[in-house]
């Protein structure tokens, strides 16, 4: 049986429990991946929202199609990809941010902004705040508030 990489690019551990009598499970560490059997991936996809919400993901196109997805979930965005989005022009940035609908992805955007990984204009902060429906005060890093 083919093994496929399953990624967790969040700052938290994701626990996955598989179907069998022994209660087999695995933890995917933050910003890491594990190899999983196709059968296990299909099972997890059918009983949980981990893949559909983009909390964990695979880049294997054949596996995505077997799970019923056309493309990788935009909510599985990495911090580097968020940084790239925030460096786009305002209109394109807004379009890309609209694709982020899950709390863990929005929290990653807030984290990238708060850590000062990207220099943002007030216009971009306003776009981020309005598009993701978050308080603009959350988008200031601690150094700016001193």
Give 129-141 pLDDT, tens digit per residue.
999 999 888 887 5
Confidence of residue 1 (pLDDT cuts 50, 70, 90): confident
Crossing angle for the helix pair 79-86 and 90-97, nearest 10 degrees? 140
Cα distances (Å, whole numbers) of residue 135 to 56, 130, 138: 27, 8, 6
Q: Phi/psi of residue 9, each to 5°?
A: -105, 30
**Residue 52: per-residue pLDDT:** 94
**Residue 21: per-residue pLDDT:** 59
The model carries a pTM of 0.83
Cα of 43 vs its chain's centroid, Å: 21
Q: Does residue 145 carry a pLDDT above 80? A: no
Give 99-110 pLDDT, tens digit per residue.
999 999 999 999
**Residue 91: per-residue pLDDT:** 96
Average pLDDT over residues 62-77: 92
Q: Residue 48, by phi and psi: left (phi above 0), alpha (psi -120 to 50) or beta?
A: beta
12, 35 in Cβ contact below 8 A?
A: no
Rounded-to-integer distance, Cα 49 and Cα 72, Å: 14
Which residues, at least 6 apart from 130, have a Cβ–Cβ distance to it below 8 Å? none
The closest alpha carbon to 45, from 33, 24, 63, 21, belongs to: 63
Lowest-confidence region among 48-52, 76-80, 85-89, 137-141: 137-141
Give 12-69 pLDDT, tens digit per residue.
999 998 877 577 889 999 999 999 999 999 999 999 999 999 999 999 999 999 999 9
**Residue 141: per-residue pLDDT:** 58
Reading the block at residue 115, the tokens are 């850590």
């Amino acid at each position: 049986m083919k093994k496929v990489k399953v990624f967790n690019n969040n700052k938290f551990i994701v626990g996955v429990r598989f179907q069998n009598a022994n209660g087999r499970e695995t933890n995917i560490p933050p910003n890491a991946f594990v190899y999983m059997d196709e059968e296990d991936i299909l099972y997890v996809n059918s009983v949980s929202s981990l893949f559909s919400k983009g909390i964990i993901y695979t880049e294997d196109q054949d596996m995505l199609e077997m799970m019923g997805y056309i493309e990788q979930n935009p909510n599985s965005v990495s911090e580097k990809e968020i940084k790239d989005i925030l460096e786009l022009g305002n209109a394109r940035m807004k379009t890309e941010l609209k694709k982020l609908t899950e709390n863990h992805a929005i929290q990653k955007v807030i984290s990238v902004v708060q850590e000062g990984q990207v220099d943002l204009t007030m216009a971009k902060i306003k776009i981020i705040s309005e598009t993701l429906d978050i308080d603009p005060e959350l988008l200031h890093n601690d150094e700016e508030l001193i």
